[in-house]
Structure 1
């Protein structure tokens, strides 16, 4: 009788979004369970999230400042899902977020790659609900891929685990 350890699926997931959307806070919260003081990401942060005994997600948190966005495409090799984070309490930047999302989804390497939009900061007053965020980003127009939107709060830890379980399931779904 031979004992062998089952091989874990390691899935590459990229977190993108405008600066100050909460990507690094989300990554830190998922990996440590803590809220950590973050500063603007120059380059990227990376960590592995174990969803279950068979599935791990390697999460790449890529800086979102305006000067970093042209470099986003350099992080797309082997990307199996895109998690786009928006600050749902900042309506003034939704048009900028929509343009950034549209540009990155136009990259050939992301053709058919599932999209999870995290409407972060749902714990703040005057935040938009997921329908408003979805409409602002024109998510229904993305008919070439699976996509979902999830309200979350990185600071409170709300909605994060569910969102990444959904990401894992979307990756395994065949494209229609």
Structure 2
């Protein structure tokens, strides 16, 4: 792995990708470059947020990618099926067959959100994890309140530490 790892941040429009980056930036007290995060062990991770369009994600985006964060809006049931299709497309991309994947179910603070059990069932998450070639982690998050942000940072730390020679 290079000294600066690339993490793709993907998901539909309005799931909270930009807010997640801003919250992580505040926790880490980094400068104004929203995409570069320096973790505890001085490992730099560049998080590339790809727009919210549910269109195709071109293979060139996957070059040099060492991890993927895929965000889902747990309060938007009408978006679940398209998010699931996009996730399956990402997981089946050849360049991503061995990268670590974090699936974030965001907006757990909303009163109308689905439970983690409900959304995992709709996604058939157990089947996805069982058939994927990548290590997959799932977490709940509220980018708005900050609940779960430390778990995201811990995941980023764990995958960069495991992939580095520190």
Tell me what 1:131 maps to: 117
Change (3 A) 1:167 1:135: farther
Tell me what 1:91 maps to: 77
SS of equivalent to 2:24: helix
Deviation at residue 29 of structure 1 after TM alignment: 1.5
Asked whether the 8 Å contact 1:11–1:58 carries over to 2, the reply is: yes
Deviation at residue 15 of structure 1 after TM alignment: 0.4
* Mapped pair 1:62 → 2:50: yes
Q: How does 1:107-126 map to 2 (within 5 A)?
A: 107-126=93-112
RMSD over aligned Cα atoms: 2.1
How does the TM-score come out when normalised to structure 2? 0.82
Q: Gaps (5+ residues) in structure 1? A: 1-7, 34-44
SS of equivalent to 1:75: helix
Greater percentage in helix: 2
Deviation at residue 58 of structure 1 after TM alignment: 1.0
Tell me what 1:41 maps to: none
Tell me what 2:145 maps to: 156
Asked whether the 8 Å contact 1:46–1:60 carries over to 2, the reply is: no
| Distance in 2 separating the partners of 1:70 and 1:46 | 24
How does the TM-score come out when normalised to structure 1? 0.77
Q: Gaps (5+ residues) in structure 2? A: 28-32
For residues 67-108 of structure 1, the C-alpha deviation after alignment (integer angstroms, 9 at most, x for no partner) is xx3244332111111100010111121111000110111111
* Mapped pair 1:11 → 2:8: no
SS of equivalent to 1:70: coil
* Mapped pair 1:28 → 2:22: yes
Tell me the number of residue pairs that the alignment of Structure 1 and Structure 2 aligns.
153
Flag the structure with larger Rg: 1
* Mapped pair 1:47 → 2:35: yes
